Amino acid sequence: MTVILNAVRGSVLVTVLAAAVVLSGCA
């Protein structure tokens, strides 16, 4: 269960980082 939560948390972090890069690139 903990492994699944860690995987979800990691994917969310990657998604947020990608969104930040795209937003900073557009700005």
pLDDT tens across 15-26, in order? 999 999 999 988
Distances (CA, A) of 5 to 14, 18, 25, 26: 14, 20, 30, 32
Q: What is the pLDDT of residue 1?
A: 74
Mean pLDDT taken over the chain = 93
What is the model's pTM?
0.60
